[in-house]
Amino acid sequence: MTLPPRLWLWIVLGLLALGALGMVLQAIQQLQWTLSTWLPYWMVGPVMLALLAALLVALVQLGWPWLKALRQGRRPAGRQTPAATVPSSRREAAERNLGAIDRTLEKVRHAVEREALRQERQRMAAELERGDLVIVVFGTGSAGKTSLIRALLQEVVGRVGAPMGSTTSSSRYRLRLRGLQRAVILEDTPGILEAGPEGRERERLARELAARADLVLLVVDGDLRASEQAVIETLSGLGKRWLLVLNKCDLRGEEEERRLLSLLRQRCAGQLVPEDVIPASAAPQSVPMPGGRPLQPLPEVEALVRRMASVLHADGEELIADNLLLQCRRLSEASQALLDRQRRSDAGVIVDRYMWIGAGVVLVTPLPGIDLLGAAAVNAQMVVEIGRVYGVSLSRDTAQDLALSVGRTLAGLGLVKGGVGLITGALSVNLPALLVSRAVQAVSAAWLTRVAGRSFITYFRQNQDWGDGGLQEVLQREYDLNGREGLLRSFLDAARQRVVEPLQDRRKRRLPPRPGPRAAAAEEDRGRPAP
């Protein structure tokens, strides 16, 4: 008869437990024998009990945190958190990012900015659904971008030979490449490196369009300028796939063309393979013919078309997916930044409210000294409400622990004493001596609440993390920032209206009224005898 495996397991565990118990009893017996050789007989028992009690306490202290963590980490059956699945494709990852952007935008209250981001999100969703390959032609106004597009499409699509700055907005053209299932969109952009506010605005538009492209054609007509080199570094930093097109090669001899191509390939080493630096002649100059009409050579863009087709056939799907992920990430960062500004504003309102609540508490029940952090300056309820703004639910005990840690750190860094000195020097001017002490206490409590509250905003903005410098660095930074002249002056102006002036009015109401002229005359009339 064979026993089940579970029963065998229990038998083995029982034998191991008996062996461990025997070893413990043997150790106790050995300890008792050793103590009996060194101590009187009547002291062996109490010493043994004391040693066993100390051992038990040590085991509890070592084992209890582990058991507590194990208990907290255990989840009831049927309520496990499902593990996040890895997206099976870049398209699925982009769709997930768009869903996360929707959830972020639902929390944004600012209608205009939310609508602008929502329209951008809809544009990205349409591109994800349509799946066209977008190629942006990018470069200076004189490099021949429009001529290059005309040559690629084999038809005139814009003014050729126009002065710089003539292309003031983008233009899109649709074409098909043989063997490629997706449609290709060629997009002309305004020229870069133009002077004046309008030129800078056109360059901003061109850079934005390039950042959205699946493939960028950077068109130059000579060696790279320093500003064009900066554009190349920006495109590479964005992770964009791009080709460098040397246009107007018909204006150079073959030797000069080879030298210039070699120079450009050296400058782009590490960012482009040599095959991605391509010569072209989008609009060759006409050749005079004796006794006849000038000969107009055909555009020379075959090498560019072949390279574009090769790149799009080999990497087209990845280019689309990578570009969508990049745009999703940029839009997600923009929506998160908008939500962060809203949260910072809401949290700032909470800090301002508790700042003056703390000052009011000190006015009603003045405390000795300025150890106010547990009662006013670092208020646990303020922590709870700031956490709620950032979607974090804190228990009262956790909030109190955070408040106390900030209070102790403020005191340990000497910021409490420094803050009181700062407020005392600002308020003691033109105030009666009887009001200085209470006003300083109340206003100092409010100011320290402001420092602590702003520090908590940083903590929640960083996903409940104080950062590399820890709590001390955050508090010191907020202390220095709020102690600057402009911020301190605006705070003191509000403090005079909310704290000092009401305190002065209350003191005046408590003084007995002085007799005026009419009251003095009435007293004299009452003192005279009746006629």
93-284+298-331 topology per CATH:
Rossmann fold (3.40.50)
pLDDT of residue 318: 74
pLDDT of 53 > 80? The answer is no
pLDDT averaged over the chain? 75
AA letter at 81: T
- Name which residue leads in pLDDT, 431 or 146: 146
Residues in contact with 491: Cβ distance below 8 Å, sequence separation at least 6, in sequence order: 446, 447, 450, 482
Identify the pLDDT of residue 511.
47
Q: Output the CA torsion sign for 337, 343, 346, 350.
A: negative
The answer, as to whether pTM is greater than 0.75, is: no
**What values do phi and psi take at 336, rounded to 5?**
-65, -40
Per-residue pLDDT band for 346 (boundaries 50, 70, 90) equals: very high
CA distance 30 to 497: 79
The secondary structure element, H or E, covering residue 220 is strand 215-220
CA-to-CA distance for 381 and 385, rounded, in angstroms? 6
**Tens of pLDDT, residues 417-462:** 888 788 877 766 555 555 667 778 788 888 888 999 999 999 999 9
Return the pLDDT at 387.
Answer: 93
> What single letter denotes the amino acid at residue 159?
R
- Reported as a single tens digit per residue, the pLDDT across 30-50 is 777 776 777 777 777 777 777
Residues found in the chain = 531
For the chain, how far is it from start to end, CA to CA, in angstroms? 136
Q: What is the DSSP string of 423-457?
A: HHHHHSTT--HHHHHHHHHHHHHHHHHHHHHHHHH
* Cα-trace Rg, the chain: 39
Q: Is the pLDDT of residue 377 over 60?
A: no
Beta bridge partners of 242: 216
Domain ranges in the chain with CATH number 3.40.50.300: 93-284+298-331
Q: Which pLDDT value is given to residue 507?
A: 59
Closest CA to 215 of 309, 302, 151: 309
The closest of 442, 420, 417 to 497, measured between CA atoms, is: 442
Q: Which pLDDT value is given to residue 349?
A: 93
Q: Is the pLDDT of residue 279 over 80?
A: yes
**Backbone phi, psi, residue 328, to 5°:** -60, -40
Q: What is the pLDDT of residue 430?
A: 56
What are the tens digits of pLDDT across the range 296-316?
Answer: 788 888 899 889 888 888 877
- pLDDT at residue 130 in the model: 63
Q: How confident is the model at residue 234 (pLDDT cuts 50, 70, 90)?
A: confident
Q: What percent of the chain has pLDDT over 90?
A: 12
14 token code pair: 């029982």
State residue 432's pLDDT score.
59
Q: Is the confidence at residue 386, as pLDDT, over 90?
A: yes
- pLDDT, tens digit (0-9, with 9 covering 90-100), for 167-198: 455 678 877 777 777 778 888 887 776 667 77
CB 350 within 8 A of CB 385: yes
pLDDT digits 0-9 by tens, 388-424? 999 899 888 888 888 888 888 888 888 878 887 888 7
Q: How far apart are CA 193 and CA 231, in angstroms?
A: 10
pLDDT of residue 240: 79
What is the 3 state secondary structure string of 240-298?
CEEEEEECCHHHCCHHHHHHHHHHHHHHCECCECHHHEEECECCCCCECCCCCCCECCC
- Residue 525 pLDDT: 53
pLDDT at 62: 57
132 has pLDDT over 80? no
- Higher-pLDDT residue of 301 and 115 is 301
Mean pLDDT, rounded, for 58-78: 50
Mean pLDDT over residues 224-243, rounded?
Answer: 80
| CB neighbourhood size of 422 (10 A) | 18
Q: How confident is the model over 267-290, as a mean pLDDT?
A: 87
Residue 279 sits at φ, ψ, to 5 deg, of -80, 150
